[in-house]
Amino acid sequence: MTWKTVFTGSSPNQWRRTRRPIIREAENIWRSAPADRVSFLVDGAAYYAFLDQVIEQAEEQLWITGWDFDPRIKLRPDDPDAEALGTKLERLAARKPKLRIRILVWAMGPIYSGKSLRLFCKQEWAAHPQIELRFANHRAFRGSHHQKLASIDDRIAFVGGIDLTARRWDTPDHLAENELRRDPDGNPYDPVHDIQVVVEGDASRAIGDLCRSRWKSSVGEDIGAPESAAVAWPPGIEPLLTDCRIAIARTEPGFGKRRGRQEALRLTLDALRGARCHIYIENQYFASHRIGKLLGERLREPDGPEIVVVTTRSSHGFLEKVVMGGNRDRLIRRLKQMDRHGRLRVAYPAVPKADGSEQEVIIHSKVVAIDERFLRVGSSNFNHRSEGFDTECDVAVEAASEAHSTAIAGFRNALLAEHLDAEPSDVARALQETGSLVAAVDRLNTRQRGLRAFDGIESHGATALVWGTDIVDPHSPFRPFHRTRALLQRWIGQLFALLSRFFALSQRRTSAIDSEINPSGSGRKK
């Protein structure tokens, strides 16, 4: 048995020898690599502002890989002179002849999110020879490409839950009404909470490798690593961690003779098993049978850890409400029945509105914090799809020093403070005085902005999975015609890419003709 000195207590000064670490090479992660600097960017405004600075430095390779993409968004909506993302990418490509920008989006993402394919076809940026927009095929029928990655010359990379698309930007105050929180069509949207991790160093090269691997899988093109190393961490931004190892865990469905990968699920389960004092979870969904079963077992332990879960209450669409929302309610009911020692809290965040009512904050983040020892952030939801059906990517860090444990505890406290309208020091003080994360939350949860319990879930009732879960939220792929479907999806993706270039080139040609006919721009001659 492997032993390692790690943090195990409720105070950063409590260290002792324990069993093998949570993160284990070749068992529950794909790869680990050293990172010079790491930061956890809370909410879309922080991520977009950081990315806005970094991509200006790109020289050879800029990768954007995601579930969805919208070139109309502005990375700095608070700046009235900010340009749209598509315009920014075109400007960078025109200024840097060696730069290649490759964007890989799930083929159904733009359709699922309600945007038309014409969104990509009618913009000139998509026709630039140094910019490639491709649509990712997926080996599993109805499965989605759910990774949210960005890599800049293998020096700085981003991983988490935030796509570069509409309705993702928000600030930590999550005001019920914010004029800046509008989609490119001008429509307001609800407050949304999310997290993206940024890494610098060798860990960034690993994320670049993952982007290139996904590109090869979908496009068939093998791209080598970049040679440039000029991209630097922006000044004035303090990292949360320095000189640490970052672990990368993936989820990929199996197809043909290729086995699927469930590293992210194994890492999460191992982390939950390793908790001694506190488990803190943020997730868009809370509907996983395997994760719920393990949490129930931990609650039954006389001296098991406390569990605080922050998740989303609202559901989008009938099927999601019935299946995902139904399974969440049943899981909460089952855990309450097992919580004989009062160590469980499941809640959703809310902020006050001007009329005195409340506005829910949508949780889109995917976080697991274990004691002051382990932190995982990524794209994996606590549902069945993320366990073996969709493609996912999570990154994790395990404390190797007191400085690391202090940083992990501080980040968890900052997340709770955001939801409770408090300061991180308030959370730390309440935790120290009570010795309980649950008691600390209860003590501070007294303001207009705070965490709200899932009331109305009776203690008695159904706890099994909702009928139809295997159809709406499957664990693994079902492919009676997987070869035909894979070919068809690849052809559709290639057709989308060709149409995108055709319409963009047509628009550029039309604009050139108009300029030639009427150089003054006062109107077309008849």
Mean pLDDT on 457-485: 78
Residue where the block lists tokens 């990292």 = 239
Number of structural domains in the chain: 2
Lowest mean pLDDT across 75-84, 314-323, 391-400: 314-323
CATH number at residue 307: 3.30.870.10
The crossing angle, in degrees rounded to 10, of helices 402-420 and 424-434 is: 110
Question: What is the distance between the alpha carbons of residues 422 and 433, in angstroms, rounded to a whole number?
Answer: 16
Per-residue pLDDT tens digits for 334-363: 999 999 999 999 999 999 999 999 999 999
Range with lowest mean pLDDT among 112-121, 222-231, 330-339: 112-121
- 246 and 260, same domain (yes or no): no
- pLDDT score at 247: 98
What does R_g of the chain's alpha carbons equal in angstroms? Answer: 23
Residues 128 and 170 reside in one and the same domain: yes
245 lies in the same domain as 260: no
Burial class (CB in 10 A: 0-12, 13-18, 19+), 142: middle
Tell whether 9 is covered by a domain.
Answer: no
Residue 17 lies in a domain: no
Give dist(CA 473, CA 284) in Å, integer: 14
Residue 452 phi, psi dihedral angles, 5° rounding = -115, 135
Strand 306-311 with 278-283, pairing: parallel
Which segments of 220-261 does DSSP mark as H helices, in order? none
Residue 316, domain member (yes or no):
yes
| pLDDT of 478 | 63
- Tell me the torsion sign for CA atoms 334, 335, 336, 340: positive
Instruction: Give the model confidence (pLDDT) of 7-32 as tens digits.
Output: 444 444 454 445 679 999 999 999 99
Residues 200 and 266 both lie in one domain: no
- The answer on 41 and 182 residing in a single domain is yes
Render pLDDT for 186-215 as a digit per residue (tens, 0 to 9).
Answer: 999 999 999 999 999 999 999 999 999 999
pLDDT at 503: 62
Distance CA 104, CA 132 (A): 8
pTM for this structure?
A: 0.88
**Is 349 a member of any domain?**
yes
What percent of the chain is modeled with pLDDT above 70? 83
The answer to whether the beta carbons of residues 68 and 106 sit under 8 Å apart is yes
CB 387 within 8 A of CB 288: yes
- Quote helix, strand, coil % in the chain, to nearest 5: 35, 25, 40
Spatial CA neighbour of 381 closest among 258, 276, 246, 475: 475
Q: Do 357 and 208 share a domain, yes or no? A: no
Answer yes or no: do 271 and 219 share one domain: no
Residues 73, 120, single domain; the answer is yes
């990509």: which residue's tokens? Answer: 120
Looking at the fold, whether 327 and 178 belong to one and the same domain comes out as: no
- Run of H or E including 267: helix 263-274
Residue 4 lies in a domain: no
Q: Do the domain assignments include residue 522?
A: no
Residues 241 and 102 both lie in one domain = yes
- Nearest one of 85, 45, 91 to 64, comparing CA atoms: 85
Q: Quick check: is 16 in a domain?
A: no
Where in the sequence is the domain holding 210, given as residue range(s)?
Answer: 29-251+481-514
Residue 473: per-residue pLDDT: 86
Q: Are residues 75 and 173 in the same domain?
A: yes
Mean pLDDT of the residues in the chain: 88
Bridge partner list, 14: none
* 284 and 200 inside one domain: no
- Identify whether 15 is part of a domain: no
Residues 198, 50 contacting (CB under 8 angstroms): yes
